[in-house]
Amino acid sequence: MQLLLVGMFVYGFVTRAPKIVTNAGIGVVVTFLPAILRRNLRVTLDPFLTLWVTAAVFFHAVGSAGAYYQIWWYDHFTHALSASVVAAIGYVTLRSLIIYSDAIHIPRRFLAVYILIFVTAFGVIWEVLEYGLDVLSARTGIEMPLSQFGLEDTMNDLMFNLLGALIVAVWGQLYLSRVTERLHADRAHDG
């Protein structure tokens, strides 16, 4: 996927497609984060977690290269996938705080609610950002890396964000709890 992202980046650069360059470029950078975390912080991410994050940025870059416009369900798929990554990040962050601090106690059954709220808030902020970029694009004539396609698109995006969050809230907590505890065990062993 990393090589394909680099290929998309080069293609976007050669064809002067700033949307493809931006999204593929950000995708390439994100794919290096696991190695940077391992080298700089001695945090080794689970291979499935690395694949999950890489898949999200990869499929988004493919979407910006044309799949969003050619495949009717592609935007729904990428929103659900990306939202599941956001849900995982929110969950692991909160579980880390719970592990590190005796002052924080949140019942496990509330964590599913937290995941849904976290992803909804992130999704709303994302949609506001897209709207702002659309306004900026209209005023400057510069193509932006993200765009909205009206109210129905925004509502669909938010609904599929919730679907991704719900999948993590229902099925992902067990996996992510093990990942979080393994990360903290590794950090305690190194520290």
Using one digit for the tens of pLDDT, what is the confidence trace for 52-104? 999 999 999 999 999 999 999 999 999 999 999 999 999 988 988 888 888 88
* Span of 30-39, 118-127, 161-170 with lowest mean pLDDT: 30-39
Give the other-Cβ count within 10 Å of 34's Cβ. 19
pLDDT of 188 higher than 70:
no
Quick one: pLDDT at residue 44?
A: 79
Stretch 148-167: mean pLDDT: 92
Question: 9-54: per-residue pLDDT in tens?
Answer: 999 999 999 999 999 999 999 999 988 988 887 877 888 989 999 9
Q: Which amino acid is at 145?
A: P
CB 129 within 8 A of CB 104: no
CA angle 114, 98, 190 (to 5 degrees): 130
- Is-contact 52 91, C-beta < 8 A? no
Tokens of residue 161, six digits:
């964000």
Residues 6+ apart with CB under 8 A from 52: 84, 85, 88
Find the mean pLDDT for residues 135-142.
Answer: 92
Statement: residue 175 has pLDDT above 70: yes
* Per-residue pLDDT, 126: 93
Burial class (CB in 10 A: 0-12, 13-18, 19+), 105: exposed
Q: What is the pLDDT of residue 42?
A: 80
Residue type, position 40, single letter: N
Query: What is the mean predicted confidence (pLDDT) over 100-123?
Result: 90
What does the pLDDT read at residue 189?
Answer: 65
Inform me whether the pLDDT recorded for 187 exceeds 80.
Answer: no
